[in-house]
Amino acid sequence: MDYAGRISKLASKLDDEGILAALITAPENIHYLTGAPFVRGSAGKLLLVWKEGHATLILTELDYEEAKDSVAGGLELIKTNLFERPLERLRSILPSSSKVGYEEGAMSAAMNDRIGANYVLVPLGGAIEKMREIKDKEEISMIEKAQSINDQAFEKALANFREGMTELEIAAELEYMIRRYGGEAYAFETIVASGPRGVYPHGMPSNRRPSGGESVVIDFGAKYGGYCSDMTRTVFFGEPKPELRKMYEAVRDAQEAAIEEVSIGVTGKELDDVARRVIGDHGYGKYFVHGLGHGVGIDIHEAPTVSASNPNPLSPGNVITIEPGVYVPGVGGVRIEDLLVVTEGGRRNLTKFSREIVVV
Amino acid sequence: MDYAGRISKLASKLDDEGILAALITAPENIHYLTGAPFVRGSAGKLLLVWKEGHATLILTELDYEEAKDSVAGGLELIKTNLFERPLERLRSILPSSSKVGYEEGAMSAAMNDRIGANYVLVPLGGAIEKMREIKDKEEISMIEKAQSINDQAFEKALANFREGMTELEIAAELEYMIRRYGGEAYAFETIVASGPRGVYPHGMPSNRRPSGGESVVIDFGAKYGGYCSDMTRTVFFGEPKPELRKMYEAVRDAQEAAIEEVSIGVTGKELDDVARRVIGDHGYGKYFVHGLGHGVGIDIHEAPTVSASNPNPLSPGNVITIEPGVYVPGVGGVRIEDLLVVTEGGRRNLTKFSREIVVV
């Protein structure tokens, strides 16, 4: 990955604004800029990117060996000892009263208060998130591989789905295959929501056993090379009831219509409008209770969002999901999600699995 | 769960301090106070706990159905629509200029700036985290169940471990069993780190195939009823080399010595000292590069910490890990971790799996 290029791009922005260094606290952004691994929810690493174009990573002994073996050359590593926090070490290397960029969305109010006492803090305004919106070839190939793990795992797992299984057992089969095909982690907590639970868009798998034509929303993702994938299919355990079939067709038509429109220059809002109109025409408008999609990369949810709140045009290298859904209380849920790259030619769909109705 | 009791405990604290309402932003704390589910990394829900003792949860349409079916009675639910953020709705129900408690560690600097313009913000100082340190019977039974899933899953998976398997395949077997025994999610990303990778305390599983007596550190956890468990065992693929056996004995002796000392009144620092002394006596002091343990509950890492930085005595109802580790570059890693409840009588070890050396 082009860590040096990323660091120098950020550094030149700092230089323009007279900022001595940017203090990076979001683990995902530290990973993006250096290759340093992180575990979800991890804290404790601090990255300084200096306006001159070099960078310093302050980390604990616990993380040192893995970081040392993972980061690109040229990065300075400072290892704190067990009785010292990275934040304390910061003071000894960053002159007080200097102008320091900070991540206002990733730094807690408490840390902000503490650091603000010593430095002139300047918000970075999502500068790194902005860079991350446009994926380069190497990043896209990681996401593509992560999505191919999803496709293969789903196909294999589906062959093992049987009426009488619980949602937990469905998750077990699927996740087993994700690991077997090389998923180094799950991109997020697998969702399996059947029957009336299908109206929980984030429903965790339970002991419920779908049957009698109920829908089962299965939303899952693998990580590969530090990058996420994201895919949803809704399958039926038994021949679907007419209402569920109508919902499925509404969602599938909406997804296909929106995917057709993905191209450079179209906005997130416009895509969301397309899908919402189709679902509305099918009579399910009020049951489409979330945005159409989101960007995917190191984070499972990152910019650009594909919803009414995004008036900005898409660019080549954006990687986004298109995932309309319909959730009717008492009936169930249907969601179908593909993962796409925005390209010069329009789009490339990384999801290969069919969106035809599948009956287990 | 005693949601009403928790809300009223927090409310009376607010009343004492002349705070109109506490604005709760940490999803784990919202779950603790209301039962509302959350997915890891989720955002968007806001909880107001009013000094009079009632509470209001503002959430999106997306989360509404599941929250409605999950929360305890008496909680007011406010559903925002697709084009409105919970934060915008806040203003219409919380009188401006009022004194509002906030979570300084869980609120971003950006949100703090926005809200601080309208209210007099008072830091809550970790009040809810403090409440969460002491688990009640119902919470302990969830954690105990989550740990029994770990024990059973590990025993079953171990029977399927074979030389020639990759770290990813080891994770696949284990996670499959966690699901089969009822794990509703993984408490964190499973760690499988073999051979020289064993020196990465957070090493994600890779394509590496342990063999020739190498150690394999396996650190994993299930969630049940919203509560986490946490367990580590180090197994050997082939008869362990003498150096690794010595490391294993150092860690096991340290863990047993520390567990013996767990009781009401002992501090996190004292326990850490006990383990560190034993490992030091075995000659591996400089390779024990992390604290001895941490609290476990709704979060995988919560208070109280069991390390040099905790001078406070343990209390009945604390749930903690004891997990010394030794990581020798070029040789490998060893870590053994049990999960304990602090009781009137001293401790109860929730981890049943043996800590004798296991050779695959």
What share of chain A has pLDDT > 70, as a percent? 99
Yes or no, beta carbons of A104 and B109 under 8 Å apart: yes
Find chain A residues with C-beta within 8 A of B290's C-beta: 60-62, 82
The answer for A357, left when phi > 0, alpha when psi is -120 to 50, beta otherwise, is beta
DSSP A53: S
Structure pTM? 0.96
Show Cβ contacts of residue B114 under 8 Å, excluding neighbours closer than 6 positions. Answer: B87
List, in sequence order, every residue forming a beta bridge with B302; answer none if it has no partner. Answer: B295
Q: How far is A200 from chain B (nearest CA, A)?
A: 5
User: Chain B contact for A239, CB < 8 A?
Assistant: no
Tell me the residues of chain B between 18 and 37 that have a Cβ less than 8 Å away from chain A.
37
Q: Which residue of B has its CA nearest to A197?
A: B66
Question: A110-151 pLDDT, tens per residue?
Answer: 999 999 999 999 999 999 999 999 999 999 999 999 999 999
pLDDT tier at A86, thresholds 50, 70, 90: confident
pLDDT at site B87: 83
Yes or no, beta carbons of B41 and A106 under 8 Å apart: no
pLDDT tier at B43, thresholds 50, 70, 90: low
| DSSP symbols for A268-288 | HHHHHHHHHHHHHHTT-GGG-
Strand A46-50 to strand A231-237: parallel, antiparallel, or no bridges (unpaired)? unpaired
Yes or no, beta carbons of B207 and A61 under 8 Å apart: no
User: Taking 70 as the threshold, does the pLDDT of residue B41 lie above it?
Assistant: no
What backbone torsions phi and psi does residue B154 show, to the nearest 5 degrees?
A: -65, -40
Q: Report CA-CA distances (Å) from B222 to A136, B19, B144, B145, B189.
A: 36, 38, 11, 9, 10
Q: What is the mean pLDDT of residues A188-199?
A: 97
Strand B222-224 to strand A319-322: parallel, antiparallel, or no bridges (unpaired)? unpaired
User: Taking 90 as the threshold, does the pLDDT of residue A64 lie above it?
Assistant: yes
Q: How far is A295 from chain B (nearest CA, A)?
A: 15
Find chain A residues with C-beta within 8 A of B204's C-beta: 37, 39, 184-185
pLDDT tier at A69, thresholds 50, 70, 90: very high
Under 8 Å between Cβ of B55 and B18: no
b/e for B162-185, b at 16 or more Cβ within 10 A? Answer: eeebbbbbbbbbbbbbbbbbbbbb
Question: B231-249 pLDDT, tens per residue?
Answer: 999 999 999 999 999 999 9
Helix (H, G, I), strand (E, B) or coil at A11: helix
| DSSP symbols for B174-196 | HHHHHHHTT-SEESS--EEEEGG
Nearest to A109 among B62, B112, B183 (CB): B112
Find chain B residues with C-beta within 8 A of A308's C-beta: 82-83
Tell me the residues of chain A between 310 and 329 that have a Cβ less than 8 Å away from chain B.
327, 329
The answer for B260, left when phi > 0, alpha when psi is -120 to 50, beta otherwise, is alpha
Of A354, A334, A359, A337, the C-alpha closest to A195 is A334
Nearest to A108 among B104, B186, B189 (CB): B104
Find chain A residues with C-beta within 8 A of B307's C-beta: 82
Q: Which residue of A has its CA nearest to B84?
A: A309
Show Cβ contacts of residue B277 under 8 Å, excluding neighbours closer than 6 positions. Answer: none
User: Taking 80 as the threshold, does the pLDDT of residue B42 lie above it?
Assistant: no
Q: What is the mean pLDDT of residues A190-201?
A: 97
pLDDT at site B104: 96
| DSSP symbols for A114-175 | HHHTTSEEEE-TTHHHHHHHS--HHHHHHHHHHHHHHHHHHHHHHTT--TT--HHHHHHHHH
Measured over the CA atoms of residue A91, residue A93, residue A99 and residue A100, the dihedral's sign is negative
3-state secondary structure A299-334: CCCEEEEECCCCCCECCCCCEEEECCEEEECCCEEE
The angle that helices A109-116 and A86-93 make with each other, rounded to 10 degrees, is 30
Yes or no, beta carbons of A202 and B112 under 8 Å apart: no
Of A57, A41, A59, A47, the C-alpha closest to A22 is A47
Q: Which residue of A has its CA nearest to B79?
A: A289
Number of other CB atoms surrounding residue B260 within 10 Å? 12
User: Taking 70 as the threshold, does the pLDDT of residue A252 lie above it?
Assistant: yes
Mean pLDDT for all residues in chain A: 96
Give the number of residues written for chain A. 360
Measured over the CA atoms of residue B16, residue B21, residue B25 and residue B27, the dihedral's sign is positive
Tell me the residues of chain B between 77 and 116 that have a Cβ less than 8 Å away from chain A.
82-83, 102, 104-113
Encoded tokens for A327: 């959730």
ipTM over 0.90: yes
Under 8 Å between Cβ of B253 and B282: yes
d(CA B45, CA B57): 7
Encoded tokens for B356: 């004798």
User: Taking 80 as the threshold, does the pLDDT of residue B188 lie above it?
Assistant: yes
Yes or no, beta carbons of A172 and B180 under 8 Å apart: yes
- The gap between the terminal CA atoms of chain B, to the nearest Å, is 42
Q: How far is A179 from chain B (nearest CA, A)?
A: 5
User: Taking 80 as the threshold, does the pLDDT of residue B319 lie above it?
Assistant: yes
Q: Which residue of A has its CA nearest to B310?
A: A83
C-alpha R_g of chain A = 22
C-alpha R_g of chain B = 22
User: Taking 80 as the threshold, does the pLDDT of residue A309 lie above it?
Assistant: yes
In a 13 Å sphere around the CA of B64, the CA atoms on its Cβ side amount to 19
User: Taking 90 as the threshold, does the pLDDT of residue B48 lie above it?
Assistant: yes
Give residue for tokens 């029957």: A195
Nearest to B189 among A40, A190, A329 (CB): A40
Question: A211-240 pLDDT, tens per residue?
Answer: 999 999 999 999 999 999 999 999 999 999
Query: What is the amino acid identity at position A354?
Result: S
Question: B82-138 pLDDT, tens per residue?
Answer: 878 788 899 899 999 999 999 999 999 999 999 999 999 999 999 999 999 999 999
Under 8 Å between Cβ of B225 and B147: no
pLDDT tier at A72, thresholds 50, 70, 90: confident
b/e for A156-179, b at 16 or more Cβ within 10 A? Answer: bbbeebeeebbbbbbbbbbbbbbb
Find chain A residues with C-beta within 8 A of B190's C-beta: 185
Query: What is the amino acid identity at position B147?
Result: Q
pLDDT tier at A299, thresholds 50, 70, 90: very high
Nearest to A202 among B39, B179, B202 (CB): B39
Q: Which residue of A has its CA nearest to B173?
A: A176
Q: What count of CB pairs under 8 Å joins A to B? A: 167
pLDDT at site A43: 67
What share of chain B has pLDDT > 90, as a percent? 94
Cα A316 off chain centre by: 18
d(CA A303, CA A135): 11
Beta-sheet strand order (sheet of A76-80): A76-80, A55-60, A46-50, A21-24, A99-102, A120-123
Domains of chain A: 3-131 (3.40.350.10), 137-349 (3.90.230.10)
pLDDT at site A15: 92
Yes or no, beta carbons of A182 and B200 under 8 Å apart: no
Yes or no, beta carbons of A189 and B188 under 8 Å apart: no
pLDDT at site A328: 98
Range scoring the smallest mean pLDDT among A32-41, A340-349, B176-185: A32-41
Of A105, A139, A174, the C-alpha closest to A6 is A139
Show Cβ contacts of residue B88 under 8 Å, excluding neighbours closer than 6 positions. Answer: B80
List, in sequence order, every residue forming a beta bridge with A186; answer none if it has no partner. Answer: A222
pLDDT at site A88: 84
What backbone torsions phi and psi does residue A42 show, to the nearest 5 degrees?
A: -70, 155
pLDDT tier at B283, thresholds 50, 70, 90: very high
Q: How far is A84 from chain B (nearest CA, A)?
A: 9
Yes or no, beta carbons of A176 and B171 under 8 Å apart: no
Q: Which residue of B has its CA nearest to A299?
A: B41
Cα B90 off chain centre by: 30
Tell me the residues of chain B between 338 and 357 that have a Cβ less than 8 Å away from chain A.
none
DSSP B285: G
pLDDT at site B83: 77
Yes or no, beta carbons of B172 and A179 under 8 Å apart: yes
Under 8 Å between Cβ of B48 and B23: yes
Encoded tokens for B27: 């999803």
Nearest to A169 among B180, B185, B308 (CB): B180
Of A125, A161, A117, A109, the C-alpha closest to A19 is A125
Cis peptide before B205 (omega within 30 of 0): no
Mean pLDDT for all residues in chain B: 96
pLDDT at site B73: 85
Q: What is the mean pLDDT of residues A323-342?
A: 98
Give residue for tokens 């990303």: B189
